[in-house]
Amino acid sequence: MTKIVDLRPKKELLNNKFEKYQFSSEIIPITEEIELCKHIKHKEPSSNQDSWLEAKLFAFHNHLFENPYDSSCWFWDQDYGVWQLKEDGSLNQVETQNIECDPSYKFNPTIAFAGNEVVILSRGDTVLEVVLTSKLSSSLLIENTEPGILLDARYVEPKNLLIISTCAIVTTNGKKQSKLILLFYKLKNPGHWHEGLEFHKKQELAINGPIEYVFIEPNGEYINLLSQDPAKFTHDSLNGLQEKDFSEGSKIPDIKIPKYSWSQDEESLTVWIKIPQKHKSSKPNVKVSATNISIVIEDEVLINGEVPFRLDHELATWNCENDTLKLELMKHESGQMWNELIKNDTNGECLPNDALASEIHSRLAHLCSEQQGNDSDQPAIGFNAEQLEECDLEGGENMLQRINLTNCTTTHLTILTSHNRILFTHKLKTCQVLCARYNHDGCVWEPVNRNEEWELVHKNIFPGFGYVEASKANKKFCISPASGNYVAIIEHKRHGFLYEKPQQNALVAKQKIIDLGADSTSIMGAIATDNYIILLSQDKLYKLNVS
């Protein structure tokens, strides 16, 4: 049975007093500007790669790959040479095998880090290369794989197991969809890579929409998959997946229907409660105090609990309309925005208020200073980024699934609605954190698993950043370091914006400008560390000091 995991922000991290990111004329200094020997490898979609899935895959591809085990940055040059920028600032070419790449395969080359000293390389074709960084001139080839891009890799040393996840775009029944491939290999002789790998098994999953990320948990038994639609197992070479397994083991359970809905403006709250059919002719018992709401009908409790803030309970009114009870409440303190109706109650659904949203939009406009303006020479990417965002939301919601790879089932599921749009993700050694919009803030969540239990823990917040990010029409990358000291939006060319994390209950925080200069070319990759932002263009590598 799949367990639904709710997002529960920690109130102590929320900052309702925050007003704005104060524009600073201070330019973030470029401490290093490295001329590249060769341009980076970049592929454009072919004429038959014209779907929205492929447009997104190519247009927002990050050509810079961060190794979470040593904070180094890796990238490909145009001749399929691999380069490593170490934390000390040295840039070195990584020794790899000379492989003839088939130009007919139209995926960008990618890199994944399976462990401290195990790196997986994909040139976008049918060959994967396993590089052992601790040993010079040491790598293994995995041939006859399906072309695509690398999403993640994991070497599980106690199990002598190497797991590699890739993604391809395939056509099924005339419609293009994402295909997630999981490849499992074992060392022929544990601990002795030079003796080679042997194939263990292959699993395939189908996803109708795009895949945001895949994270293989350290024990190799689960993956965390963030995608627009639920994944369904279609193939398991070891277990011989049957149609029965496909329909039952991969099925996402029905989502819990809210018991009540509520909305708010600055002064009032409106609550709608569905009256059970068997009680349609009965009179509800409604009790509202300054701190509690209770609605009971014939001993069945519809709502009961403490509210987060005080009410003017004497002004409460209610009436029944058909099979719905409508409750009107007045806030004791005008302008106070509620995050929930009943404390710690997940049975309710908050509905957006269009009039309130318009009012907040006008108030928060100052958060998004555009004093630098957008360059008129920004490159076209073949589709409108704002339209892409709308298309993404048309799917209804994103899903974060925790999937058991042994029995092909989804054990945990978090629904991210259109109001919880993903702002950025960051891969760590033990998990992948994600930042999702919550009201107008950006809340950072970290998956934590204890044996069979799994939850999303609220770790950090960037107040007002959800609104800020949505206003940046020319954004290409959104990045933040593991420490969460800042978040940065990088545009397609030349500019970026850095937003410092405000102190607890601070009213303002700094917004700084990134400017690579008028002669800079398109930005192709971006990585954030605690002290530096690393940016990759076609011909240069930039290191900017943010400490």
How does DSSP classify residue 411? E
**To 10 degrees, the CA torsion angle through 342, 344, 346, 351?**
50
Predicted confidence band at 136 (pLDDT cuts at 50, 70, 90)?
low
> What pLDDT was estimated at residue 12?
92
Query: CA nearest 445: which of 206, 224, 174, 179?
Result: 224
* Span of 245-254, 279-288, 333-342 with lowest mean pLDDT: 245-254
- Reported as a single tens digit per residue, the pLDDT across 14-30 is 998 899 999 998 889 99
For residue 49, give the 3-state DSSP assignment. Answer: coil
Residue 365: the pLDDT is 54
Domains of the chain: 3-255+372-545 (2.130.10.10), 260-346 (2.60.40.790)
How many residues would you count in the chain? 547
Q: Where residue 469 falls among pLDDT bands split at 50, 70, 90?
A: very high
Of 337, 331, 333, whose CA–CA distance to 360 is shortest?
337
> Mean pLDDT across the stretch 69-73?
94
Give 84-107 pLDDT, tens digit per residue. 999 888 999 999 999 888 777 889
Q: Global pTM?
A: 0.77
The Cβ-side half-sphere exposure at 345, using a 13 Å CA radius, reads 22
Q: Are 455 and 223 in contact (CB under 8 A)?
A: no
User: In the predicted model, is pLDDT for residue 238 greater than 90?
Assistant: no
Question: Which range is least confidently modeled, 167-181, 212-226, 312-326, 360-374?
Answer: 360-374
> What's the pLDDT at 253?
52
Question: pLDDT digit string (tens) for 165-176?
Answer: 999 999 888 888
Q: 489 - beta bridge partners?
A: 478, 497
pLDDT single digits (tens) 383-436: 333 333 333 334 447 899 999 999 999 999 998 887 788 999 999 999 999 999
Which runs of consecutive H residues, i.e. helices, occur in 378-534?
385-394, 465-471
pLDDT at 47: 76
Least Cα distance to 167 among 112, 241, 245, 101 occurs for 112
Tell me the per-residue pLDDT of 350-397, one tens digit each, with 9 for 90 and over: 876 655 545 544 545 555 544 444 443 444 333 333 333 333 334 447
DSSP state of 10: -
219 three-state secondary structure:
coil
The two three-digit tokens of residue 54, written as one number:
């492929």
Task: Work out the average pLDDT over 485-500.
Answer: 96
Q: Spell out the residues 6+ positions from residue 428 whose beta carbon is closer than 8 angstroms to its own.
A: 68, 482
- φ, ψ (nearest 5 deg) of residue 381: -120, 10
- What pLDDT score does 151 carry? 98
Distance from chain centroid for Cα 450? 22
How many angstroms separate the CA atoms of 537 and 526, rounded?
A: 9
Would you say residue 336 has pLDDT above 70? Answer: yes
Q: What percent of the chain has pLDDT over 90?
A: 61
Looking at every residue in the chain, the average pLDDT score rounds to: 86
Angle between helices 385-394 and 52-59 (to 10 degrees): 130
> Closest Cα partner for 428 from 451, 401, 399, 459?
459
